[in-house]
Amino acid sequence: MHALTLLAALSAAGASVTASPLGPPKLPRSSASDTNPFVGKKLFANPKWAAKLEDTYKSFTQKGDKANAAVVRKVEKIGTFVWVTSRSGLSEIDDAIKAARDEQSRTGQKQIVGLVLYNLPDRDCSAGESAGELSSKNDGLRIYKEQFVKPYAAKLAAAKDLQFAVVLEPDSLGNAVTNTGVAFCAQAVPTYREGIAFAIKNLQLDNVALYLDAANGGWLGWGDSLPLAAKEFATVLSLAKPATIRGFSTNVSNYNPYLTNNTTRPRDSYTAGSPSYDESHYASSLSPYLIQQGLPSHFIIDQGRVALPGARKEWGEWCNVGPAGFGHTPTTDQTVLQNGNVDAIVWVKPGGESDGQCGMAGAPRAGAWFGGYVEMLVKNADGSVKA
């Protein structure tokens, strides 16, 4: 579900690394009247993911590693998004709703359930590791609308006692921006646009905040790609009118740090020349172009997994990157975020689920549990996880 290597992606777009035509990116702040849907709520911690982590806990315990076993116990309580990736997987929504209601009743704490809607026909057109069940050649778009999006929306509409944050079709519009040089992607783009617009229109619910996926800073954050990305997003939103979204998700299933500096987290050398050298700066760099297109400039940023400094030789490495660790815990605290455009740091990709049969040796198919990998994530977890 990811881009080609960075150089290939830029080549396909005919892009070069240049300064933004709008000049240095400014940091527009969202209106004070806007309501951040994450504030005052707990991101739902999926018990199904926690159950998978039990083997990780046992592994550390058997090794006598009490410190990392204790970290696992903390990770189990951290909220993550639930991925809904097929028609048969729609039952994941029912399970999440039941568990979130139980938790909300037990604790009295309002839950926000994070969901990913990910089942477009011709999905993952460039990389292919996360190809899905639907094909545009086999009536896939109609099936997507009628048998996936509509029941998906109906389930959320019936759960008015819960708040939902929905990430729409990760990486799909990234491919539309940079990978139309791939014939399969060029053919898929009209389907992507129509399918996502249909999902947006059908999920206009008071208890749902929609975040259209904007890939990541290493993919779309270069000077020439930023206006192209905003234009593509605007194209999709024009098809969905008068429907709206809350904002955009970035870094989903990727490994970019939220914020780099000269002390605790140095900037990686391959980010030289990019205004989007970390995900916070990507949000800041993209925001002026979104505003120019009349689009919202709110973001949620995935920090479920973060590559350690030096782990990658180039930005285009996306599959089971190592070494990496669990990133900063989900938060809306602006003393951490330091960016008025960012609604929250979240964990969209549940750490431990493989990116595909690539990257580290022994990696299983995309979405399958990768036990050795999650142990690495625990060992390298951010200090906020261990606190």
325, 319, 291: which is closest to 306 by C-alpha? 325
The average confidence (pLDDT) of the chain is 92
245, 255, 163, 251: which is closest to 207 by C-alpha? 163
Give Cα 210 distance to the centre of its chain.
12
Mean pLDDT across 118-131: 88
Burial-class residue 7 by CB neighbours within 10 Å (0-12, 13-18, 19+).
exposed
Catalytic pick from 34, 122, 124, 302?
124
According to DSSP, the residues that pair with 213 across neighbouring strands are 249
Q: What is the DSSP letter of 57?
A: H
CA distance 144 to 90: 12
Close Cβ partners of 273 (under 8 Å, ≥ 6 residues apart): 17, 222
Token pair listed for 361: 């040796």
Asked whether the CA dihedral 380, 382, 383, 387 is positive or negative, the reply is negative
**pLDDT over threshold 60, residue 33:** no
Please give the pLDDT value at position 263. Answer: 79
Please give the pLDDT value at position 303. Answer: 98
pLDDT digits (tens, 9 = 90+) for 44-101: 999 999 999 999 999 999 999 999 999 999 999 999 999 999 999 999 999 999 999 9
Can you tell me whether residue 166 is helix, strand or coil?
strand
According to DSSP, the residues that pair with 117 across neighbouring strands are 84, 168
Catalytic pick from 95, 161, 171, 213?
171
Alpha helices in 179-331 (DSSP H): 183-202, 217-220, 225-240, 279-292
* 213 given a catalytic annotation: no
Burial-class residue 109 by CB neighbours within 10 Å (0-12, 13-18, 19+).
exposed
Token pair listed for 37: 């849907």
pLDDT digits (tens, 9 = 90+) for 307-353: 999 999 999 999 999 999 999 999 999 999 999 999 999 999 999 99
CA distance 256 to 103: 31
Mean pLDDT across 131-154: 97
Per-residue pLDDT band at 14 (split at 50, 70, 90): very low
* 171 given a catalytic annotation: yes
Mean pLDDT across 2-8: 43
Mean pLDDT across 27-44: 74
**pLDDT over threshold 90, residue 30:** no
Per-residue pLDDT band at 130 (split at 50, 70, 90): confident
Q: State if pTM tops 0.85.
A: yes
